[in-house]
Amino acid sequence: MVAWTEYKQAAKARGSLALELFVVISTPEKSPEEVKAVLPSHLAYQAEQEQLGNLALAGPLSDDSGEQMQGTGMIIYRASSLEAATELAGKDPMHSTGTRSFTIRRWLVNEGSLQLDIKLSAQSVQL
């Protein structure tokens, strides 16, 4: 194993992006009906975090077959530290009410690409 800070420094030194984000895996602890009841406040919290610049990406994950939505979700936060990201995740109504539990990990984004298609007259954006 290598210390996180050492690995991050080495990634930067070799020219990688070394963008640190925080990945939350959110797992249902209560019935689908109880999860659905908390969904509006969860989505409002996510929208607020997006506006504040803390939410990078979020959405549901499929089951192992790729054919069913089982209620597990992934949230990727921008934060200054693991502690700050953990606080963001803990304040999510899904987690603060015990409707879902979560695990959180640091994620070092080193490579990849994004394409953005913006159509001004159609007022559309596609990733």
The percentage of residues in the chain with a pLDDT greater than 90, rounded to a whole number, is 85
| Greatest Cα pair distance in the chain | 51
- Predicted pLDDT at 58: 96
- Predicted pLDDT at 35: 95
Cross-strand pairs, 124: 119
Answer whether residue 117 shows pLDDT above 90: no
- Quickly name the fold that domain 4-126 has: Alpha-Beta Plaits (3.30.70)
Answer whether residue 109 shows pLDDT above 90: yes
DSSP 3-state helix, strand, coil percentages of the chain (rounded to 5)?
A: 35, 35, 30
Q: What is the pTM of this model?
A: 0.90
Would you kindly state where each structural domain of the chain is located, as residue ranges? 4-126
- Predicted pLDDT at 38: 97
